[in-house]
């Protein structure tokens, strides 16, 4: 049964680098939750009038010789979204910065679990990833590696294959925003979990389109950014980081021509005023742990008196055609958890353990190969005719 031994040897030698990657992963000291607190509130939408520009930062073009999922060239993609009135278009290819993309970014990650991140305006592409096993520390380590390479690090589609759970997002540090709405899964609960833990994370919403000629793929989710259409890229960057965004989900199967926008999201003293450009079926205010704090039906206005227990507040609007989710207003400052400190003691033990397994796999794999070669030599020797 030489072939089974050969197969087993190959399997062991393939597992060895995976164990090696685990050995190189630090273990982090994750902090507990610290919900937003303070007397004053941070409102990203505090401005006289709100002007909205439409954006999609997650489109895949045809690249990597067609191996990855993406059907069209950058010019076809730009034409398709231009025709729908998009102001900001980002082609986020896998592991590649597309220089023809109006907004420069790429989608990081090649694991089977689809643990992906959108790296905006990156300095370079990072290839470090965990193909199979992704512990919380492994996810944190990837964010740590990406962090210095990008000014806006966005967790992509957490709900897609459960790549990031709400509990994980409530403990991880070093990310700037979450792609809450995505055609492959909307992650409202995961987002609320991150916000409830006291991590300021604005909303990004994207089609994640691979075929821009498919009307069901285009304008299914998008981000409205509260900046003027003539604003420079630096203003866009600041607006995304500060949370001047609203995520939209299209409830119809085709692109929309018109939909309500938020005309006013304003705090006056301890009262929050939310107003839409046209009446909607319902307006809601959501707070800590995703609990509904107020609802108003068939209206274009909602007035909410803030309670002492409120830590963050965000608004939602519903019509038969769309759902709209604003980025949050938070108590105190819009703080984000930094990358946690490394637990060097446990990291050492963990490294020894996985390093030992990697060595064992290599030795066992090589022994199997050698055993096979020895047997071949032995067989040849035995088959020699006796003189």
Of the pair 60, 331, the CB lying nearest Zn ion is at 60
Of the pair 218, 324, the CB lying nearest Zn ion is at 218
Residue from 193, 132, 131, 126 nearest 153 by CA: 126
Of the pair 108, 244, the CB lying nearest Zn ion is at 108
CB of 337 to Zn ion, least distance (A): 23
Radius of gyration of the chain (CA): 25
How many angstroms separate the Cα of 46 from the Cα of each of 22, 41, 247, 264, 268? 45, 11, 18, 9, 10
Which spans of this chain sit near Zn ion (rule: CB under 5 A)? 116, 156
Q: Per DSSP, which regions of 209-260 are E strands?
A: 221-225, 245-250
CB of 321 to Zn ion, least distance (A): 26
Distant-in-sequence, close-in-space partners of 179: CB < 8 Å, separation ≥ 6: 58, 118, 154, 155, 156, 157, 158, 187, 204, 205, 206
CB of 139 to Zn ion, least distance (A): 14
Q: How far apart are CA 9 and CA 370, in angstroms?
A: 10
CB of 157 to Zn ion, least distance (A): 6
CB of 132 to Zn ion, least distance (A): 17
Task: Work out the burial of residue 357: count CB atoms within 10 Å of its CB; fewer than 13 is exposed, 13-18 middle, 19 or more buried.
Answer: middle
| Helices marked H in the chain | 2-23, 74-83, 136-146, 166-169, 188-196, 233-242, 344-382
Of the pair 60, 284, the CB lying nearest Zn ion is at 60
Contact (Cβ atoms closer than 8 angstroms) between residue 262 and residue 324: yes
| Residue 201: count of CB within 10 angstroms of its CB | 24
Helix, strand, coil percentages in the chain from 3-state DSSP, rounded to 5:
30, 25, 45
Give the number of C-alpha atoms closer than 13 A to the C-alpha of residue 152, restricted to the C-beta side: 27
Cα angle value 381/385/387 (rounded, 5°): 115
Of the pair 164, 200, the CB lying nearest Zn ion is at 164
Of the pair 25, 208, the CB lying nearest Zn ion is at 208
CB of 146 to Zn ion, least distance (A): 14
Query: Which tokens is 317 given?
Result: 């609007």
Of the pair 153, 329, the CB lying nearest Zn ion is at 153
Of the pair 35, 158, the CB lying nearest Zn ion is at 158
CB of 377 to Zn ion, least distance (A): 50
CB of 250 to Zn ion, least distance (A): 20
CB of 28 to Zn ion, least distance (A): 24
Of the pair 118, 225, the CB lying nearest Zn ion is at 118
Residue from 81, 119, 102 nearest 215 by CA: 81
| Residue 370: count of CB within 10 angstroms of its CB | 11
Distant-in-sequence, close-in-space partners of 57: CB < 8 Å, separation ≥ 6: 88, 90, 92, 103, 105, 118, 120, 154, 204, 206, 223
CB of 192 to Zn ion, least distance (A): 21
Of the pair 209, 219, the CB lying nearest Zn ion is at 209
Q: How far apart are CA 28 and CA 53, in angstroms?
A: 39
Q: Which residue is nearest to Zn ion (CB)?
A: 116
């Amino acid at each position: 049964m030489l072939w089974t031994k050969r197969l087993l040897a190959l399997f062991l030698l393939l597992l060895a680098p995976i164990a090696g990657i685990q050995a190189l992963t630090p273990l982090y000291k994750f902090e507990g939750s610290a919900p937003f607190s303070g007397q004053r509130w941070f409102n990203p939408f505090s401005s006289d009038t709100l002007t909205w520009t439409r954006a999609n930062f997650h489109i895949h073009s045809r690249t990597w010789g067609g191996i990855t999922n993406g059907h069209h060239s950058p010019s076809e993609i730009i034409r398709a979204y231009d025709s729908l009135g998009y102001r900001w278009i980002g082609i986020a290819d896998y592991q590649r910065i597309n220089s023809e993309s109006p907004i420069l970014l790429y989608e990081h990650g090649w694991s089977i679990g689809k643990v992906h991140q959108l790296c905006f305006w990156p300095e370079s592409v990072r290839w470090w990833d965990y193909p199979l096993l992704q512990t919380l520390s492994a996810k944190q380590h990837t964010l740590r590696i990406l962090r210095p390479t990008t000014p806006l690090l966005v967790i992509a589609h957490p709900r897609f294959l459960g790549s990031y759970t709400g509990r994980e997002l409530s403990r991880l540090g070093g990310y700037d925003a979450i792609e809450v709405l995505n055609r492959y899964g909307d992650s409202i609960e995961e987002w609320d979990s991150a916000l409830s833990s006291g991590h300021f994370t604005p909303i990004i919403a994207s089609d994640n389109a691979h075929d821009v000629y498919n009307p069901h793929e285009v304008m299914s989710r998008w981000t409205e950014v509260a900046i003027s259409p003539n604003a420079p890229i630096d203003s866009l960057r600041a607006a995304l980081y500060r949370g001047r965004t609203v995520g939209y989900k299209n409830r119809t199967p085709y692109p929309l021509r018109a939909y309500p926008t938020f005309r006013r999201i304003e705090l006056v003293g301890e009262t929050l005023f939310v107003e839409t450009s046209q009446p909607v079926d319902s307006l809601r205010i959501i707070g800590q742990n995703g609990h509904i704090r107020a609802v108003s039906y068939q209206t274009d206005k909602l007035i909410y008196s803030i309670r002492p227990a409120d830590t963050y507040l965000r608004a939602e609007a519903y019509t038969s055609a769309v759902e709209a989710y604003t980025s949050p207003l938070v108590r105190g400052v819009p703080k984000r958890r930094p990358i946690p400190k490394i637990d060097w003691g446990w990291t050492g033990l963990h490294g020894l353990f996985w390093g030992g397994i990697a060595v064992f796999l290599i030795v066992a794999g090589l022994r199997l190969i050698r055993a096979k070669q020895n047997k071949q030599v032995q067989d040849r020797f035995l088959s020699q005719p006796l003189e």
